Amino acid sequence: MNAPPDVQRYEIRKYPNRRFYDVTRSRHVTLDDLYELVKLGHEIVVTDSKTGTDITNVVLTQIILEHDPPKLDLFPASLLHQAIQANQQMVRRFVDEYFAQAVNAFAESRNRFDEFLRRSGFSALQPMAPFDWVRMLFPGMTGGAPSPTPTAPTPSPQPAQPPMPAPTPSSTAERADTQSLRDEVEALRAELASMRKSAKRRKSTGKPGK
């Protein structure tokens, strides 16, 4: 379905028997329609038709379960056990303080890297596999022997080439941006590893957080 580009927030009411009504556009919609809206970048707010309770989180979880179940594999089983065993306040605090910040940091780093690629002129290239991108951008980070090449005749002597020009300020700034992105990714990995270790320790002691 094609969503109007000028509308970014949709008010949805949920009725019994999995029926949804789009108040914003005065039309009935399905869970598949809501999935497409979210994929397009829009925001939905879902309320129960009887109680008026905000059930947006429940509906979004249902959308993930039915349309993107592999995304739940990103969460280790130990973390899901802790979420079920812990009280609601602790889970909300964890999501607000750690998970939301980690996701926002990752999104910001990804946007900065995309901008770096655009400034470097890579946006016009044909799509490549992730490993090919890494091999092209950071050749020193990929191991393995070089691909064999056929033996070529000995070339004739060529005139001496002039020395390479010194790095320009723009290239120096791009390298600094790349190093900054690497540092942010490493910091994010370290924070996620620390969160996983903390969850494992709480599980081994048998004491869910309060």
DSSP result, 78-130: HHHHHHHHS-HHHHHHHIIIIIHHHHHHHHHHHHHHHHHHHHHTGGGSPP--H
Residue 144 lies inside a defined structural domain of this protein: no
Other CB atoms within 10 A of residue 45 CB: 15
Looking at the fold, whether 115 and 180 belong to one and the same domain comes out as yes
CA distances from 84 to 89, 93, 117, 187, 209 (A): 12, 14, 41, 28, 11
Q: What is the per-residue burial (b if ≥16 Cβ within 10 Å, else e) of 53-70?
A: eebeeebeebbeeeeeee
Looking at the fold, whether 1 and 62 belong to one and the same domain comes out as yes
Distance CA 195, CA 174 (A): 32
Residue 143 lies inside a defined structural domain of this protein: no
Looking at the fold, whether 116 and 179 belong to one and the same domain comes out as yes
Domain range holding 117? 75-123+170-205
Residues 6 or more apart in contact with residue 32 via CB below 8 angstroms? 67
pLDDT digits (tens, 9 = 90+) for 53-110: 999 988 998 898 888 888 777 778 887 777 777 777 666 666 666 666 767 777 777 7
Number of domains forming the structure of the chain: 2
Q: Are 80 and 88 in contact (CB under 8 A)?
A: no
Looking at the fold, whether 29 and 83 belong to one and the same domain comes out as no
Residue 206 or 23, more confident:
23
pLDDT of residue 145: 44
Residue 186 lies inside a defined structural domain of this protein: yes
Distance CA 48, CA 14 (A): 5
pLDDT of residue 6: 63
Residue 137 lies inside a defined structural domain of this protein: no
Average confidence (pLDDT) over 4-25: 84
Last residue within a domain, chosen from 29, 46, 69: 69
pLDDT digits (tens, 9 = 90+) for 97-143: 666 676 777 777 777 877 777 777 665 445 555 555 555 555 554 44
pTM, 2 dp: 0.43
